[in-house]
């Protein structure tokens, strides 16, 4: 049993790291927010070249996975844009996607200065 555990544990760790890995952009500011009247998820542009691998290296969708979490993150984005405070964006590059759908935002760190 111990041998099986020692074999399976490293495999699970590798799988978890690749499955749940996020990219992080450079410290930047919220530039533009695009929201369609259809009620779809907002597309957010950050400073130039702040999200490598995403649309224009600066934009990503904020997915609506659950309403409460979305509301908290979206209010953080709006606060950051209104106050022009710096943020660090954690995002996931979606392989095989092109255009605006290349990346989804997973988290945003709002700096105090």
Residue 16 — very low, low, confident or very high, per pLDDT cuts 50/70/90? very low
Note down the domain range covering 105: 23-110
Helix ranges restricted to H, 1-113: 2-19, 67-83
Asked whether residue 8 is domain-assigned, the answer is no
Q: State how many domains the chain has.
A: 1
pLDDT for 91 beyond 50:
yes
The answer to whether residues 93 and 68 touch, using CB atoms and an 8 Å cutoff, is: no
Residue 80 in domain: yes
Q: Categorize the per-residue pLDDT at 21 as very low, low, confident or very high, splitting at 50, 70 and 90.
A: low
Position 11 in a domain = no
Tell me the pairing of strands 87-93 and 59-61: unpaired
Query: Per the domain annotation, does 40 fall within a domain?
Result: yes
Q: What is the DSSP letter of 111?
A: P
The model's confidence at residue 38, banded by pLDDT at 50, 70 and 90, is: confident
Verdict on whether the full-model pTM lies above 0.85:
no
- CATH number, domain of 58, equals 2.40.50.110
Say if 14 falls within a structural domain: no
What pLDDT band is residue 26 in, cutting at 50, 70 and 90? Answer: very high
pLDDT(8) > 90: no
| Residue 94 domain flag | yes
The DSSP code sequence of 81-110 is HHHT--EEEEEEE-TT--GGGGEEEEEEEE
pLDDT in the model for residue 10: 46
Question: What's the rounded Cα separation, in Å, for the pair 48 and 59?
Answer: 9
What's the rounded Cα separation, in Å, for the pair 84 and 75? 14
* Residue 49 is assigned to a structural domain of this protein: yes
In a domain, 2, yes or no: no
């Amino acid at each position: 049993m111990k041998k099986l555990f020692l074999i399976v544990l490293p495999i699970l760790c590798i799988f978890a790291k690749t499955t749940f890995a996020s990219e992080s952009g450079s410290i930047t500011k919220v530039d533009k927010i695009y929201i369609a009247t259809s009620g779809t998820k907002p597309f957010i542009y950050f400073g130039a070249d702040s999200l490598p691998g995403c649309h224009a290296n600066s934009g990503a969708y904020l997915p609506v996975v659950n309403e409460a979490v979305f509301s908290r993150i979206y209010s953080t984005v709006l606060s950051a844009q209104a106050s022009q405070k710096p943020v660090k964006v954690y995002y996931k590059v979606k392989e095989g996607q092109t255009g605006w759908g290349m990346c989804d935002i997973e988290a945003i760190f709002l700096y105090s200065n």
